[in-house]
Structure 1
Amino acid sequence: MAPAPRITVVETARLVLTRPHPEDAAAVFAVHGDPETNRYNPHGPMRSAEEGVAFLDSMIEDWERDGIGYCAVAPRADPAGVFGFAGTQLTRRLRPDGIPVFNLYYRFAPIAWGRGLAREAVDATVDLARRTLPTMPIVAVIDAANVPSLTLARRVGFRASDAFVDREGRDVYMLPQDRAADTD
């Protein structure tokens, strides 16, 4: 039996973002099991391929339940060559009233760093979130020491917010509805 086809969510100049696919399990673990990509993750890197499969299953379930979620990110020239994940997920854990917000997420293998690929993927997924649920707040939860992630979030237009609280003590940033992003 042939594997199910990938569902393309969005394409950019250099990237293709797809709904997570069962065949992404190795890429999930490669990215999330790497100590370097998890330097600022309070839970550290994934310890087993099984953890990767569980996370992948949760990403697939988000898409099935909410019609939006985290995407597998690959170069347009090699759509099966997933090197990262980016997107927005509906979450209720940042608000005491339990009302959902979008959580922006991005994590890429070191081979993708420093080339503007994360910015390209984040811009595409933020635009997708705005088209899907235009008034839903979009937040990013970032460790204060994670300067590269914070720099990216600020360039996209995120600003510090005290309206939301991360239980793990990380800083929370919110994207204003007008999304006045930096141009550099």
Structure 2
Amino acid sequence: MATAVARLVYRQPQPSDVQRLFAIFGDPQTNQFNPAGPMASLEVAQRLLNHWLQQWATEGYGWWAIARSEAPDHLIGFGGVAPLDYLTDRRINLGYRFAVEAWGQGYATELGRDALAWAFETLGLPEVFGLVRPDHAASIRVLEKIGMQPYGLLDDVPGKAPSRVFHIRRPTTDFA
């Protein structure tokens, strides 16, 4: 019987990831649906990376650096679950951003499933949210494929349509 081999490998971000983070987050194509637009500078990338490293240090989890298993030293994206402020409410948010070279191969769906499994089975978190721009059909499909349900709207971008909020609760095992 054949067993599936994981296509992606995940690890904690490292300080040396700043250049690759900037390359991915600074690419206009990866920011088509980001109202803030592409990341402006390596300094901004460093601040974001420092934030992620601090989350890992204080929370014990956060966004992963993501690579293909056959090329573990070449990052193709960043993502996972991490605390995020939804205006005034703190939520555990599923998010990701992949380099254009990784698009269309099912990696976002795979990352989403793996991140939810990590959140529920390893971290024991009760629920996870996903925030997506209303016109980002591909990301909406990913959230739906991994079992997340529409939860509401978040008016988080002044002058623009509200973002869509998705939600999933940890599965319960009720043997009663």
Q: TM-score range by the shorter chain?
A: 0.7 to 0.9
Question: Given the alignment, which residue of 127, 133, 138 partners 2:128?
Answer: 138
8 Å CA contact retained: 2:126, 2:169: no
Per the normalisation by structure 2, the TM-score is 0.86
Structure 1 unpaired stretches of 5+? 1-11, 180-184
Does residue 167 (structure 1) correspond to residue 153 (structure 2)? The answer is no
SS at match of 1:175: strand
User: Deviation at 1:79?
Assistant: 1.5
Question: Given the alignment, which residue of 40, 44, 69 partners 1:76?
Answer: 69
Does residue 114 (structure 1) correspond to residue 104 (structure 2)? The answer is yes
> CA 1:134/1:45 → structure 2, altered by over 3 Å: closer, same or farther?
same
Question: Given the alignment, which residue of 44, 48, 61 partners 1:55?
Answer: 48
Does residue 24 (structure 1) correspond to residue 17 (structure 2)? The answer is yes
Does residue 36 (structure 1) correspond to residue 42 (structure 2)? The answer is no
Distance 1:166 1:103 in 2: 16
Whose strand proportion is higher, 1 or 2?
2
User: Deviation at 1:40?
Assistant: 0.6
CA RMSD of aligned residues (A): 1.8
User: Deviation at 1:139?
Assistant: 0.5
Q: Percent identity?
A: 30
8 Å CA contact retained: 2:119, 2:125: no
User: Deviation at 1:135?
Assistant: 4.2
Q: In the alignment, which residue of structure 1 is the partner of 2:171?
A: 178
Question: Given the alignment, which residue of 149, 153, 158 partners 2:139?
Answer: 149
Distance 2:87 2:15 in 1: 31
Q: In the alignment, which residue of structure 1 is the partner of 2:116?
A: 126
